[in-house]
Amino acid sequence: MKRPAKPLLQDNSLTAKSQPRRKRDPAQPSLPFDPMPDRVEPCLALLKSAPPVGPDWAYEVKWDGYRLATHIEPKGVRVVTRGGHDWTHRFPAISAAARELGGRNRNSGW
């Protein structure tokens, strides 16, 4: 027999809060505390006979090609394949454009 879960808080009027891992940077007050993970699983394309219909749907046609994730980090830019391979050197135009975004949006200095 499965026991019911206990509530996290004894007083339901309180909210559960964890302690931050480090102090928030005053120059970036809305930056989340948790660091970006090393890998984010990409969304995969699904084969369908027709695109979705209605105003709440968006879709894109999946042509042959690569599914890549671009990571803009303080230490630099990485272009990573779905399989986790670093292909930054294979996509210099994407890498350069991402560096421009990173330098413009962050005080990273690169």
- 62 tagged catalytic: yes
C-alpha dist (Å) from residue 26 to 12, 29, 49, 99: 32, 5, 50, 23
Task: Find the catalytic residue in 6, 48, 62, 75.
Answer: 62
**Helix or strand or coil: residue 98?**
helix
Phi, psi for residue 32 in degrees, rounded to 5 = -65, 155
Catalytic residues: 62
